[in-house]
Chains A and B, each alone.
Chain A
């Protein structure tokens, strides 16, 4: 199995550790990982803020970056450690193609996207559905609570896949997060445009997480973790944010913090 890693602009720029963890994890599972260097951003911030036409060139860029490798058989799938970016590609790219067509701008965008959209997977989904593993051989001796991010939960329907993966991690104690399915309040530009409400949502999420007594709150999206972690740091609660990929990559020989 060979995959192209779509790391996303946020991870590439701010959270390279997550990227290294994905590479380590997939390599350990016998997957050959490539990182097409032309990749940038899925355009979600543009699209969700109302700049759909600005997001279109980024969708085209995504198709041009990953399409040829898939067509040539250089890799079998595109994997990304971000629920919201995977949802952008899978749910919203087809909608963008359809809107461009409806506006009389032809089917070029839809045609370019057609091969890449169904073969883009969020990491935990790829592990469980494509590789069909839940025990990835990880070791992580910490108490962990899991926050299912909105796009992972509702757009992608990840369901219990992350929990099934975490349940197989040796040493890990999984504790339930109260109000788990409630949004953390990030929402991209929402965090700035409606800062008061966003902060209130974030503070409630952090208080709920702290109430579990867990050492770590994990999620499959660093954007949400940036907001939650920034709030944790400010509120000085004894719990820290970790991307699920870093937990799954951790082993006894090479433990992650």
Chain B
């Protein structure tokens, strides 16, 4: 994924700072609670939500099971409609293809529709290194780009910023990227939006190349779909002469009619709207209308490896709505940056270690970035059992085992740093399969209860830093039961 995340510390370390940043905490709490409450209301309006959720799950599972077939069908449809399909195995290949396509146009700047796929491969950074400037046109992406920041949320990348911070970024940075911010810009939302509109307008009208992702690709007719709220996407999709769409291979739906399900579940889950303001669809090229050259770059970048995993593959159903982020108590406190990937929150915690493997410190820590409360699964519009995948990936981290990497079955070794824990788990398992040993341990602990420290050494220190330990009782329940014959004897 994006080079900006290479060498990230493990999640607990990254979260440590975020938890102490009171402005960040307040920004995140306000934003996530607002969206989560609105989402609940929007979902409650539909009496067939459970069926829509199940239908979305079924369509995605069916498509993933027959992905080869639908990819070939999609390539045929796109080609027949006048587009050109390119296949990219990984981020480097995708970046190379896009760079060459832009070079062929002779242009040195492009306008972009908000796209997770291009962020995943670090396209903007790559283009910049090749002297091509990519302008983000989504308001929140613009804020992140101008602020030399990283996105903190899938849908609202600048969720961690408040209005005052945004005004400062606009005042400071807009001038060096194009039209400067108006004099005396305040933090009123209308003024901030107008400043962005003026700044972006000149880019839309000048750009000859547009780059997008897609929310969906329809195999039967080669149509791509982008849903958005601001209209910037439609400008980028229609005004330039060349359009390059970079899309993950899992974004296919078989038929046009399948969109019926997702165009109901996606807006409600993401922005809590019944329908998003702009739904743009495009199919190849059309004479004298819209882009005259259309390229579709299909990226794998770890997706077929994830597809090979029986439990983990359900993560590929994700439609990037971000509902799981907005309900996640861990995301709310740690913020998006702590996840070390363009995919933060619960979905990021299962997607990143599958797409990138669990070798790095951050990827090995992500499956543990959850209390397994299950709120993410409850809101997921395609019913991804995120807690199930988290636990599955934890097993991969601590015990190693079979996995697919770059198309080859490999046996992974356990990640470093879990030896003590593994030994403790095995010792506990032994005690728990020997009830007499458990009882003896309890009695020893009861006899020494006055000697127990109020805080713990080793890994337990993390517990007693902010919480008092419970007092050890004088007698375990099993000893009480035996002594009193299940409470029947008068002795208490």
Contact = CB atoms under 8 A, between A and B. Distances in A.
Interface stretch (A19-27, A137-145, A163-171): A19-27
B468 A190 contact: no
B329 interface: yes
Contacts of B393: 50
Given A33-B486, A39-B435, A196-B15, A230 B399 contact: no
Interface string B418-460: 0001100110110111010010001001000000000000011
Given A49-B425, A194-B12, A234-B468, A14 B371 contact: no
A185 B329 contact: yes
Nearest to A228: B467
B330 A197 contact: yes
Contacts of A37: 435, 478, 481-482
Nearest to A225: B470
Contact of A61 (B15, B334, B391, B433): B433
What does DSSP make chain A's interface, helix, strand, loop or mixed?
helix
Contacts of A52: 391, 395, 399
Contacts of A27: 487
B486 A200 contact: no
Nearest to B484: A20
A187 B394 CA distance: 14
A45 B422 CA distance: 12
Given A51-B395, A190-B368, A201-B329, A46 B428 contact: yes
A73 B310 CA distance: 39
A190 B349 CA distance: 14
Interface residues of B, number: 66
B423 to A, nearest CB: 11
Interface string B68-109: 000000000000000000000000000000000000000000
B473 A192 contact: no
B135 interface: no
A147 to B, nearest CB: 12
Which of A27, A58, A102, A187 has the most C-beta atoms of chain B within 10 angstroms of its own C-beta?
A187
A14 B470 contact: yes
What does DSSP make chain B's interface, helix, strand, loop or mixed?
helix
Which of A33, A45, A187, A197 has the most C-beta atoms of chain B within 10 angstroms of its own C-beta?
A197
B371 A187 contact: yes
Interface string A192-212: 111111111111000000000
Contacts, number: 197
Contacts of A192: 459-460, 462-463
Nearest to B426: A54
A45 B372 contact: no
What are the 6 closest A-B residue pairs judged by CB atoms, nearest first? A187-B371, A50-B394, A230-B467, A195-B462, A183-B373, A16-B477
A12 B371 contact: no
A10 B460 CA distance: 16
Which of A7, A196, A233 has the most C-beta atoms of chain B within 10 angstroms of its own C-beta?
A196
Interface string A5-21: 00101011111110110
Interface of B: 11-12, 15-16, 19-20, 25, 310, 329-330, 333-334, 367-375, 377-378, 388, 391, 393-399, 421-422, 425-426, 428-429, 431-433, 435, 438, 442, 445, 459-460, 462-463, 465-470, 472-473, 475-478, 480-482, 486-487
Contact of B429 (A16, A38, A54): A54
Interface of A: 7, 9, 11-17, 19-20, 23-24, 27, 33-35, 37-41, 43, 45-55, 57-58, 61, 95, 102, 150-151, 154-155, 181-183, 185-203, 226-227, 229-231, 233-234
B429 A199 contact: no
B433 A40 contact: yes
Given A35-B478, A185-B329, A230-B468, A61 B486 contact: no
Contacts of A186: 371
A186 B467 CA distance: 11
Given A51-B422, A187-B373, A234-B467, A194 B330 contact: yes
B36 to A, nearest CB: 10
A187 B481 CA distance: 29
B433 A201 contact: no
A208 to B, nearest CB: 12
Nearest to A185: B371
B421 A190 contact: no
B314 to A, nearest CB: 14
Given A20-B487, A196-B16, A40 B398 contact: no
B310 A102 contact: yes
B333 A197 contact: yes
Contacts of A16: 473, 475-477, 480
Which of B329, B393, B460 has the most C-beta atoms of chain A within 10 angstroms of its own C-beta?
B329
A155 B372 CA distance: 11
Contacts of A54: 425-426, 429
A20 B477 contact: yes
Contacts of B470: 14-15, 226, 229-230
Contacts of A11: 477
Given A38-B435, A49-B398, A49-B425, A13 B374 contact: no
Nearest to B365: A193
Contact of B467 (A9, A47, A48, A199): A199
A61 to B, nearest CB: 5
Given A13-B445, A35-B481, A197 B378 contact: no
Contacts of B310: 102
Contacts of A189: 368
Which of A38, A53, A102, A194 has the most C-beta atoms of chain B within 10 angstroms of its own C-beta?
A194
Which of A13, A55, A182, A230 has the most C-beta atoms of chain B within 10 angstroms of its own C-beta?
A13
A222 B432 CA distance: 19
Contacts of B432: 9, 40-41, 43, 58, 61
Nearest to A61: B433
Contacts of A47: 391
A41 B482 CA distance: 19
A82 B261 CA distance: 38
B372 A150 contact: yes
A118 B487 CA distance: 28
Contact of A201 (B333, B445, B475): B333
A232 B112 CA distance: 50
Contact of B329 (A45, A49, A183): A183
Given A50-B394, A57-B429, 7 more contacts: A16-B475, A16-B477, A17-B473, A20-B480, A51-B399, A51-B425, A150-B372
